[in-house]
Amino acid sequence: MSPRKLARAASPRAPRNPQGRHPGSAGQPGAVPLSAAHRVSPRTIQLLLEQAGITYSDFVLEQRLLRADPLLRNPVMRTRRIIEIAHLAGFHDVSYLHRVFRRHFGQTPDDVRRLADDPG
């Protein structure tokens, strides 16, 4: 399984595990649900991520950030508070979202939303 397939599997649209949660969601034991969903061992997941140079935690964090960014820019989501968008993207702590979002994108979620609202 390629890192690209892993990205699709861990994305918010990924197949759910038997408990109805996405692989890697809070309360799940790391790569185990993801590996079960794709019928490979957790070690295989770990090796694939190692080859890509990332940890499972980093991988999940990046997928959540990549989910939050378009939600913040989406005009349909303008009425939603950032904490709601954080939860939709898989973050349970909005201040953590702000910190890692700024580190990753160089802007805060508020900045991204403000720029998306600015027509010109």
Q: What digits encode the pLDDT tens for the residues 61-71?
A: 999 999 999 99
Rounded to two decimals, the pTM is 0.69
Task: Name the CATH superfamily for 64-117.
Answer: Homeodomain-like (1.10.10.60)
pLDDT by residue (tens digit) across 29-47?
Answer: 467 888 888 898 988 888 9
Q: How far apart are CA 108 and CA 102, in angstroms?
A: 5
pLDDT for 4 equals 59
Of residues 81 and 15, more confidence is placed in 81
Give the start-to-end residue ranges of the domains of the chain.
3-54, 64-117
Helix pair 94-105, 109-117: axis angle to 10 deg: 70
Q: What is the pLDDT of residue 19?
A: 39
Question: What are 113's two structure tokens?
Answer: 């939303």
For residue 25, the model assigns a pLDDT of 47
DSSP-derived letter for residue 75 is G
